Structure 1
Amino acid sequence: MAPRANWKGFLRLSLVTCPIALYPATSESEKISFNQLNRKTGHRIKYSKVDADTGQEVANEDIVKGYKVDTDTFIEVTKEELENVALESTRTIEIDEFVDRTEIDPRYLIRPYYLRPDGQVGHDAFAVIRETIREMEKVAIGRLVLTSREHIIALEAMDKGLIGTLLRYPYEVRDPAEYFDDIQDVKITEDMLDLARHIVEQKSGSFQPGKFEDHYETALVELINQKRAGKTIQPKERPRGENVVDLMEALRRSVGGADREQAAPAAKKPAKKGKKTAAGQKEMLMPIAGKKTAKEAAAKKAPARSQRKSA
């Protein structure tokens, strides 16, 4: 079942308009998450909204937004006043221009969304816009209001739908000079570059997301399984970075290692896919498995609160 749409409205290219719905293209719900607990009782921590001066809890209907002018002065803005800032992009994504994908600086990318027709009408208009974007090999730039702010959105054709990526405004991107100016100017010899290029050539491949494993998520599954089994948690030795004294020698040794890897691919273990990680994961049936029934099974197997174990 598809998740609930984050936004519904219209997509418009000149006089061509169609109703659309926008859905998040990514999710972190399958990652392991933690609750904060009271160490003494094992109970969950509850957060309350309180008045900073009186310490009394404030009801949601009595809370308004405020812009801080100085230390003790705020300008209150109500929900109704914010809604009255009526921008056309609140309900319509107007395509303003088309650009080449390579012109969009990666620093401006925020998050992706899927767009599809909303309901049974407008599929023909949606298809015209989609196929125009696809055939022209362009990215359509528009605006929409999402999470109470107006965003720039870049639209590209994907399969039968569109993928829209929210973009940052220029004032949100920091100046790299603040971080790069004090990097030392060093002279790199051609021999060093030749060795480095050889390493890159030996390790070149195609990007296949399925072969990457979230090692931290796997380690969390292992940790929780061990605690459920009542085992003592032993700290692991942290990896230490080596101090490179002779850069040329380090490059030569790296080239030798890369050559050996390429010469004996059969000796390498096949990369694990994200869905097939730790052996204990199947037994534990944690959210990483991506099934609600697994979470329910884990809850049934969990020991009673009074029998909490600590490392």
Structure 2
Amino acid sequence: MAPPRAYWKGSLKLSLVTCPVVLYPAATSVEKTKFHMINRETGNRLKQQMVDAETGDIVEKEQKGRGYEISKGEYVEIEKEELEAVQIESNHTIDIDNFVPRDEIDRRYLNNPYYIAPDGKAGADAFAVIRDAMKDKDRVALARIVLTNREHIIAIEPLGKGLLGTTLRFPYEVRDEEDYFDDIKSPKISKDMIDLAVHILDSKASHFDPSKFKDEYETALKTLVKRKAAGKPVKVVEKEEKPDNVINLMDALKASLKGGKGKSTKRASSSRPHVARKRPAKKAARSSARHRKAS
């Protein structure tokens, strides 16, 4: 098997200690099923064209430019040379600025992961020293790196024999949770309910094991493509209707603890405000009539 192609090459620098390193993307979407747009009549693949939003005319390559919308429908054009002037040229160095406790890093800032490995034998000793020192103090390095003409902050931590580098989002890229949580009510919950919920959590206690993650949709897509390519019929499954009734929260907790689903016929009392209404019979009848007409 050929060695993977490095995404970035340069040096990892800690004060006066420098070692050559390479970066490899730690995640990939190569295995995901992807589709192309095709012409149903010819079976040929389609290609996209840029069209003027106002005139509808096709815009040729030499006519394309970049513009920033300063007001509705008004753009300031940015030339390629002007854009290049503000881009940061990489010095191919990962400059470590400081080290922080691992648990202080807000997970919302985590972006793209990369594997960092020594580039050749020359810097293997320096690489090991930096890695093992971080492992000993359980610290994460915060460094700066230039990728695709933009400077990024990257968090670096030991991972096996190498290092894991994860680019971090800038504060302006992370939304404030208060904008979404301020309107959440704070109802009074009884201790019995909390205790039941805790029992459910305990009964489902486990350990993080990504090998158990199953992408059911991806599996279904692969099966669909395989059957279609083989000329086999594909059965369309009708979606099941969700239950109309809502049961009492305490009953739901008790049923969950027992592994049951509760009785769908049990209605909420007047003290239970969330009661779903059944679908009107007329609507269902109209749907059936439309189906017969279409047939």
- TM class by shorter chain equals 0.7 to 0.9
> Following the alignment from structure 1 to structure 2, what is the Cα–Cα distance between the partners of residues 240 and 145?
51
Rg bigger for which structure? 2
1:239 is displaced (CA, Å) by 4.7
1:189 is displaced (CA, Å) by 0.9
Secondary structure of residue in 2 paired with 1:96: strand
> Following the alignment from structure 1 to structure 2, what is the Cα–Cα distance between the partners of residues 249 and 204?
22
1:206 is displaced (CA, Å) by 1.1
Give a deviation string over 1:165-196, Cα, whole Å, max 9, x none.
11101110111122112222211111111111
> Following the alignment from structure 2 to structure 1, what is the Cα–Cα distance between the partners of residues 241 and 181?
26
Flag the 1:194–1:185 CA change in 2: closer, same or farther, 3 A: same
**Matched residue, 1:247:** 249
> Following the alignment from structure 1 to structure 2, what is the Cα–Cα distance between the partners of residues 141 and 23?
18
Work out which of the residue numbers 257, 260, 283 in structure 1 matches 2:259: 257
Q: Which moved more, 1:142-151 or 1:103-112?
A: 142-151
Q: Please, which runs of 5 or more residues in structure 1 have no aligned partner?
A: 259-311
> Following the alignment from structure 2 to structure 1, what is the Cα–Cα distance between the partners of residues 137 and 169?
24
Q: Could you say which structure has the higher helix fraction?
A: 1
Give a deviation string over 1:253-273, Cα, whole Å, max 9, x none.
111118xxxxxxxxxxxxxxx
After the TM superposition, which residues 283-302 of structure 1 pair with which residues of structure 2 at under 5 Å, given as runs? none
> Following the alignment from structure 1 to structure 2, what is the Cα–Cα distance between the partners of residues 58 and 244?
58
Is the contact between residue 142 and residue 154 of structure 2 (CA under 8 Å) also seen in structure 1? yes
User: Does 2:167 align with 1:166?
Assistant: yes
What is the number of equivalent residue pairs in this alignment? 255
Q: Please, which runs of 5 or more residues in structure 2 have no aligned partner?
A: 261-295
Secondary structure of residue in 1 paired with 2:20: strand
1:19 is displaced (CA, Å) by 1.4
**Matched residue, 2:183:** 182
Q: Which moved more, 1:130-139 or 1:225-234?
A: 225-234
Amino acid at match of 1:95: I
Amino acid at match of 1:78: K
Flag the 1:255–1:220 CA change in 2: closer, same or farther, 3 A: same
Q: TM-score, normalized by length of structure 1?
A: 0.75
Choose between structure 1 and 2 for higher RCO, CA contacts under 8 A separated by at least 6 residues: 1
> Following the alignment from structure 1 to structure 2, what is the Cα–Cα distance between the partners of residues 64 and 39?
33
Amino acid at match of 2:247: V
**Matched residue, 1:16:** 17
Q: TM-score, normalized by length of structure 2?
A: 0.78
**Matched residue, 1:76:** 78
RMSD after superposition: 2.3
1:131 is displaced (CA, Å) by 1.0
Q: Which moved more, 1:39-48 or 1:226-235?
A: 226-235
Q: Taking every aligned residue pair, what percent have the same amino acid on both sides?
A: 50
Is the contact between residue 64 and residue 79 of structure 1 (CA under 8 Å) also seen in structure 2? no
